């Protein structure tokens, strides 16, 4: 995603530290107490500009959402959307999601969304793919036993790689959708990337898997 230097970003994030929560690790195991209501927590890794989670937060007021985005210049756009939408069930973390276990306790999360994650197509970058087995190990730990990993992408190579990775890890594939937009689904919330790729006529893939 394109990043622009935004010199005002630090001030904006400080003003909105009730939405973009600093020092995420301090809340490990205590995220429920940061939200207004005690209800299942779903997280998105690589939230980008926040369109997906804002849409999901409006559609599902009975779920608490947390978006994790490493780029400061991008998360400010997501934070602005949360301010505008006035939702109280969505928080953001300006963190690198390299190890979710630093931020979340065992079983603390009900669902993990991976939307249009960077594909890292070169073989030597396999370990950076968010569906590589070391990431699956962490997802398994922070997810509750019924927890789901829901993955959307336009990248066929990454999708196929991920299905194999899920299976080799012993995960149960509950859904494999090879053309998400073939049938209109009013409940499907589109991400920024999804809108962009779908407009170009690209196929969108989705899977749902559990441990
Ligand atoms: C290709 S974009 C997709 C954005 C959004 N999910 C969408 O579908 O429109 C991937 C995003 O993941 C973020 N990202 C990549 N690695 C990350 C990491 N380790 N921790 C947090 N965010 C990450 C990038 O900064 C970028 O904004």
How would residue 137 be classed by pLDDT, with cut points 50, 70 and 90? very high
For 86, left (φ over 0), alpha (ψ -120 to 50), or beta?
A: left
To test the ligand 1 pocket, which listed residue (4, 54, 70) has its Cβ within 8 A of the most ligand atoms?
Answer: 70
The domains located in the chain, with CATH, are 9-210 (3.40.50.150)
Beta bridge partners of 43: 66, 112
The CA-CA-CA angle for residues 98, 18, 61, to 5°, reads 85
Q: How far is the CA of 45 from the centre of ligand 1 (A)?
A: 7
pLDDT tier, 3 (very low <50, low <70, confident <90, very high otherwise): low
Task: Flag whether the pTM goes above 0.85.
Answer: yes
- Residues in the ligand 1 pocket, defined by CB under 6 Å: 1, 45-48, 68-71, 74, 96-98, 115-116, 118, 191-194
The H-or-E segment that residue 40 falls in is none
Neighbours of 78 (CB within 10 A): 26
Q: pLDDT tens, 140-190?
A: 999 999 999 999 999 999 999 999 999 999 999 999 999 999 998 999 999
Helix (H, G, I), strand (E, B) or coil at 61: coil
């Amino acid at each position: 995603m394109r990043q622009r230097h935004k010199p005002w970003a630090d001030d904006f994030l400080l003003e909105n530290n009730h939405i973009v929560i600093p020092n995420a690790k301090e809340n490990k195991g205590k995220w429920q107490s940061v939200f207004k209501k005690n209800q299942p927590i779903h997280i998105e890794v690589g939230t980008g500009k926040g369109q997906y989670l804002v849409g999901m937060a409006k559609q599902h007021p009975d779920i608490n959402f947390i978006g994790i985005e490493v780029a400061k210049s991008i998360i400010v756009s997501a934070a602005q959307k949360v301010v505008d939408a006035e939702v109280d069930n969505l928080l953001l973390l300006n963190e690198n999601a390299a190890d979710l276990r630093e931020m979340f306790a065992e079983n603390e999360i009900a669902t993990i969304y991976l939307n249009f994650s960077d594909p890292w197509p070169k073989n030597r970058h396999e370990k950076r793919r968010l569906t590589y087995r070391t990431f699956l190990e962490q997802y398994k730990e922070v997810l509750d036993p019924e927890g789901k990993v829901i993955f959307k992408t336009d990248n066929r190579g990454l999708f196929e790689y991920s299905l194999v990775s899920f299976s080799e890890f012993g995960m149960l594939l509950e859904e494999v959708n090879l053309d998400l937009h073939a049938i209109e689904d009013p409940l499907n919330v589109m991400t920024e990337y999804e809108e962009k790729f779908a407009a170009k006529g690209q196929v969108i893939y989705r899977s749902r898997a559990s441990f």
